[in-house]
Chain A
């Protein structure tokens, strides 16, 4: 391990140890619903264990957290993930360890941390051509949280670029096998099939507890007869980018993986602040694109503002009641919008970079021209 990397990880671990053991932050944050949804909060896990319900949590997750819910587990999870991510690029590990969003998510013991760890480890392993563990991690993430399964196409693309000896069909069958194994294990733990209601609840969105996404307020206010239609459209919208973006970015699968992880993080049915941890961590991989972005400072400032407004407006709505639900709704819209801007900036910058490289190849002096989309 290079010294700078171990320094970053050690500093991150020390900071987490401090927050866990020397402050009251863990008990304060475990209830915060910006950091975790009813599906991922530690409170939800404890409640599900108390009443023995698999409605909102996978039996695997419950079994895991029943035995392992300890500060040291969460800290070592972060440290391991940072180490895995460092194999992609060293700045990524530093970003992961010091990103306040992932830091707070971990201190809140939200299972989003686990989801991020699985998704990041999967891509890191795939980048090194380790097909079996990469696909195992992703299928586990899929079994626990459903949405990460949509990252399979870009993950296979990452694997194929590493001149993996296995073909697409083989990789797909490995994924199917590991997913079947994960589901069978869930079935074994739960002793019946009722745990499948987790996935239907994620799709149907019946729990309308506020989160950072677009579903909850829309469905709170939706006319009954249109509820099914809008749920369907929004769920399809979440995964509609997978194929076109994979085709568009087939030359750079890691970027496709990052972009799609980002769309899932803001458009899935129960997102929270910690979900964006995956794509923020992977951003340093694309430092060559920053010069091609249109308004990077504005976008970053907007996202930071939105992250601050979320807890503030929630407080105004629910505790002091000087604001109403529309305040919090506006802040979730801003959060979705600003993160969407980050993603489109990324995609735009890549498209522009490809074009600039091509024109440079044709020996045209770019400085005499404006580059515009037509």
Chain B
């Protein structure tokens, strides 16, 4: 709802502005039902005519967007760590976040090619200090009339060296505006954190969105639910970013407490904040405020916070489980999609599985409450060393229904050089995800990533195996050769023996 309003606001702003570039930033802070706090930063830079002499648009990205050999139409990058708990937190403020590990999505203006993709991945790996090597996990997908090339690397987690280049792209860096709050010590300490970047080529212009979302747990240290911007980020906004067109803080408030339950009474401090309360949210404009940012939410009658036993679940849930298969080298992957709404929901499920794990497609089945004629699915076979297996299922979920997608997978046996380093840890299966429309927005819900043990040979054995196998083969050959070429002879038995 909030982000929809903001979008309208941005469109309105863009329409009435004369200058060709603009920078808007906002921070949304929302209490979650399990005592945690969702904080989401958005920085949008748009430019109607990007060139190397761009005013606000960062130069490295101008070069990226205007390079004909990269040919980028739209690019999304996200780096996330932790698990987004959909059951308690519902969906993230920014719909495309919520994954674990790194994700890169690119659509090109003209046809896609492996070469373009490799170049793009190398360039952004360098720009954001991330190792996004995607030699064997690149997928292709047709979505919203665009051909996407994407890769999920669930072992690549974000760290401080990834945040620094994001901050460097902001017009005011971390010197002014909301960028000051991007404190790596705090953000990487959060239960879940995600850094994301989206670039859109729009004719001669372009738009850049940088998003940072983190879920803090104030009750973790002293069992107190109360939180403040100061405590969460350990910093404040000392001065506004003069280059920004807008700089907003949306401080979400919990539902109003009931009359008799003192425990749930909350207060916003300071009481004389300059924000405007709208729909349970304090809207604070940093461009006009005279004070430093410092908002806090406290529960004065709550001595210790007790985690709620029951929480309301989001309307559409997804879960992916790994179950032991019929023989040692197999496992069953069971994906459960649940719709708890009173109406139908059109969802599409996507997942990609590294080629080292092979699906047995004859065991693939979709069952549950949804009708089978509204369900369609598409497999993309894996190619060894090149492409993962990918699955896309489109289905309509009936109200209050459960749909299950199930398939048996086999862990492949490979040459010893084909195993990744540190393979005894297992192989990462990136999260699967569902996409659906809700509140006029495309929402995404990810499953957790999965770790699968591969059956490994003994890596120290090459010489031994060559020697021993050759010996067994030679032994048989030698025995047969012996029998074929040598003749028998009668040798008189010794006297002593015959006695």
Decide whether A and B assemble into one complex: yes
A residues adjacent to B (C-beta < 8 A): 27-28, 31-33, 43, 46-47, 49-51, 208-210, 214, 216-224, 230, 234, 237, 240-241, 244-245, 248, 267, 314-315, 317-319, 321, 324-326, 329, 333, 336-337, 340, 343-344, 347-348, 351-352, 355, 359, 364, 366, 368-374
Contact between B490 and A219, CB atoms less than 8 A apart: no
Interchain residue pairs with CB less than 8 A apart (22) = A28-B326, A31-B326, A47-B361, A210-B413, A221-B462, A224-B415, A224-B417, A237-B473, A240-B477, A324-B456, A325-B455, A325-B458, A333-B468, A337-B475, A337-B476, A340-B475, A344-B483, A351-B483, A368-B493, A369-B491, A371-B489, A374-B489
B127 within 8 Å of A (CB atoms):
no
B490 to chain A, nearest CB (A): 4
From B411, which residue of chain A is reached at the shortest CB distance?
A318
Whether A340 contacts B476 in the complex (CB less than 8 A), given A221-B466, A244-B484, A352-B488, comes out as yes
Q: How many angstroms from the CA of A221 to the CA of B414 in the assembled complex? A: 9
Q: How many angstroms from the CA of A147 to the CA of B456 in the assembled complex? A: 29
Determine which of B330, B381, B465, B483 lies in contact with A217 in the assembled complex, contact meaning CB atoms within 8 Å.
B465
Contact between A368 and B492, CB atoms less than 8 A apart: yes
Q: CB-defined interface of B435-467 with A at 8 Å, one 1/0 digit per residue?
A: 000000000000000000101111001100110
Which residues in A have their C-beta under 8 angstroms from that of B412?
Answer: 209
Contact between B486 and A374, CB atoms less than 8 A apart: yes
Contact between A373 and B482, CB atoms less than 8 A apart: yes
Contact between B472 and A336, CB atoms less than 8 A apart: yes
Contact between B462 and A344, CB atoms less than 8 A apart: no
Q: How many angstroms from the CA of A351 to the CA of B492 in the assembled complex? A: 20
Contact between A319 and B415, CB atoms less than 8 A apart: no
Q: Which of A221, A222, A347 has the most CB of B within 10 A?
A: A221
Contact between B416 and A369, CB atoms less than 8 A apart: no
From B360, which residue of chain A is reached at the shortest CB distance?
A47
B5 within 8 Å of A (CB atoms):
no
B358 to chain A, nearest CB (A): 9
Q: How many angstroms from the CA of A156 to the CA of B149 in the assembled complex? A: 59
Q: How many angstroms from the CA of A112 to the CA of B385 in the assembled complex? A: 31
Contact between B487 and A374, CB atoms less than 8 A apart: yes
Count of interface residues, chain B, beta-carbon cutoff 8 Å: 47
B residues adjacent to A (C-beta < 8 A): 325-330, 360-362, 364, 381, 412-417, 453, 455-458, 461-462, 465-466, 468-469, 472-473, 475-477, 479-480, 482-484, 486-493, 498
Whether A209 contacts B484 in the complex (CB less than 8 A), given A221-B457, A368-B493, comes out as no
Determine which of B453, B461, B490 lies in contact with A369 in the assembled complex, contact meaning CB atoms within 8 Å.
B490
Q: Other than the known A244-B484, A374-B487, what 12 A-B pairs have Cβ atoms closer than 8 Å?
A: A31-B327, A47-B361, A209-B413, A221-B416, A230-B466, A241-B480, A267-B473, A315-B328, A324-B458, A364-B490, A369-B493, A373-B486
Contact between A344 and B414, CB atoms less than 8 A apart: no
Contact between B461 and A221, CB atoms less than 8 A apart: yes
Q: How many angstroms from the CA of A223 to the CA of B463 in the assembled complex? A: 9
Q: How many angstroms from the CA of A47 to the CA of B389 in the assembled complex? A: 15
From A31, which residue of chain B is reached at the shortest CB distance?
B327
Q: How many angstroms from the CA of A359 to the CA of B488 in the assembled complex? A: 10
Q: How many angstroms from the CA of A14 to the CA of B179 in the assembled complex? A: 80
Whether A216 contacts B413 in the complex (CB less than 8 A), given A319-B328, A369-B493, comes out as yes
Q: Which of B325, B455, B498 has the most CB of A within 10 A?
A: B455
Q: How many angstroms from the CA of A319 to the CA of B455 in the assembled complex? A: 10
Q: How many angstroms from the CA of A314 to the CA of B413 in the assembled complex? A: 13
Which residues in B have their C-beta under 8 angstroms from that of A364?
Answer: 490
Contact between A318 and B455, CB atoms less than 8 A apart: yes
Q: How many angstroms from the CA of A206 to the CA of B325 in the assembled complex? A: 24
Contact between A318 and B415, CB atoms less than 8 A apart: no
Q: How many angstroms from the CA of A307 to the CA of B196 in the assembled complex? A: 56
Q: How many angstroms from the CA of A351 to the CA of B482 in the assembled complex? A: 11
Determine which of B361, B458, B473 lies in contact with A51 in the assembled complex, contact meaning CB atoms within 8 Å.
B361
Which residues in A have their C-beta under 8 angstroms from that of B457?
Answer: 217, 220-221, 324-325
Contact between B462 and A222, CB atoms less than 8 A apart: yes
Contact between A318 and B462, CB atoms less than 8 A apart: no
B357 to chain A, nearest CB (A): 13
Which residues in A have their C-beta under 8 angstroms from that of B486?
Answer: 373-374
Whether A237 contacts B491 in the complex (CB less than 8 A), given A214-B472, A220-B457, A318-B328, comes out as no
Main secondary structure of the interface of A (DSSP, over half): helix
Contact between B326 and A371, CB atoms less than 8 A apart: no
Contact between B361 and A317, CB atoms less than 8 A apart: no
Which residues in B have their C-beta under 8 angstroms from that of A337?
Answer: 472, 475-476
Q: How many angstroms from the CA of A371 to the CA of B490 in the assembled complex? A: 5
Contact between A219 and B458, CB atoms less than 8 A apart: no
Which residues in A have their C-beta under 8 angstroms from that of B487?
Answer: 355, 373-374
From B358, which residue of chain A is reached at the shortest CB distance?
A47
Which residues in A have their C-beta under 8 angstroms from that of B465?
Answer: 217-218, 220-222, 329
Whether A208 contacts B461 in the complex (CB less than 8 A), given A347-B480, A366-B490, A369-B491, comes out as no
Q: How many angstroms from the CA of A152 to the CA of B334 in the assembled complex? A: 49
Whether A348 contacts B329 in the complex (CB less than 8 A), given A47-B362, A218-B465, A372-B488, comes out as no
Contact between A347 and B483, CB atoms less than 8 A apart: yes
Which residues in B have their C-beta under 8 angstroms from that of A343?
Answer: 476, 480
Please list the 8 inter-chain residue pairs (A to B) with the smallest Cβ-Cβ separation, ordered nearest first: A318-B328, A50-B362, A369-B490, A355-B488, A340-B476, A31-B327, A46-B362, A344-B479
Which residues in B have their C-beta under 8 angstroms from that of A333?
Answer: 468-469, 472
Which residues in B have their C-beta under 8 angstroms from that of A222?
Answer: 415, 462, 465-466
B34 to chain A, nearest CB (A): 37
B498 to chain A, nearest CB (A): 8
Determine which of A28, A47, A219 lies in contact with B415 in the assembled complex, contact meaning CB atoms within 8 Å.
A219
Contact between A220 and B490, CB atoms less than 8 A apart: no
Contact between A326 and B329, CB atoms less than 8 A apart: no
Contact between B362 and A220, CB atoms less than 8 A apart: no
Determine which of B330, B381, B488, B498 lies in contact with A351 in the assembled complex, contact meaning CB atoms within 8 Å.
B488
B361 to chain A, nearest CB (A): 5
Q: How many angstroms from the CA of A224 to the CA of B364 in the assembled complex? A: 35
From B497, which residue of chain A is reached at the shortest CB distance?
A370
Which residues in A have their C-beta under 8 angstroms from that of B480?
Answer: 241, 245, 343-344, 347
B288 to chain A, nearest CB (A): 64
Q: How many angstroms from the CA of A315 to the CA of B479 in the assembled complex? A: 33
Which residues in B have their C-beta under 8 angstroms from that of A355?
Answer: 487-488
Which residues in A have their C-beta under 8 angstroms from that of B381?
Answer: 51
Q: How many angstroms from the CA of A237 to the CA of B456 in the assembled complex? A: 28
Which residues in B have their C-beta under 8 angstroms from that of A371?
Answer: 488-491
Whether A370 contacts B491 in the complex (CB less than 8 A), given A315-B328, A318-B455, A325-B455, comes out as yes
From B328, which residue of chain A is reached at the shortest CB distance?
A318
From A330, which residue of chain B is reached at the shortest CB distance?
B468
Contact between A31 and B330, CB atoms less than 8 A apart: yes
Which residues in B have their C-beta under 8 angstroms from that of A267?
Answer: 473, 476
Contact between A218 and B415, CB atoms less than 8 A apart: no
Which residues in B have their C-beta under 8 angstroms from that of A370?
Answer: 490-493
From B455, which residue of chain A is reached at the shortest CB distance?
A318
Q: Which of B416, B486, B493 has the most CB of A within 10 A?
A: B416
Contact between B479 and A214, CB atoms less than 8 A apart: no
Whether A217 contacts B328 in the complex (CB less than 8 A), given A47-B362, A344-B476, A348-B483, comes out as no
Which residues in A have their C-beta under 8 angstroms from that of B489?
Answer: 371-374
Which residues in B have their C-beta under 8 angstroms from that of A237?
Answer: 473, 477
Contact between B327 and A359, CB atoms less than 8 A apart: no
Contact between A314 and B416, CB atoms less than 8 A apart: no
A255 to chain B, nearest CB (A): 12
Whether A314 contacts B491 in the complex (CB less than 8 A), given A325-B456, A373-B486, comes out as no
From A358, which residue of chain B is reached at the shortest CB distance?
B488
A320 to chain B, nearest CB (A): 9
From A339, which residue of chain B is reached at the shortest CB distance?
B476
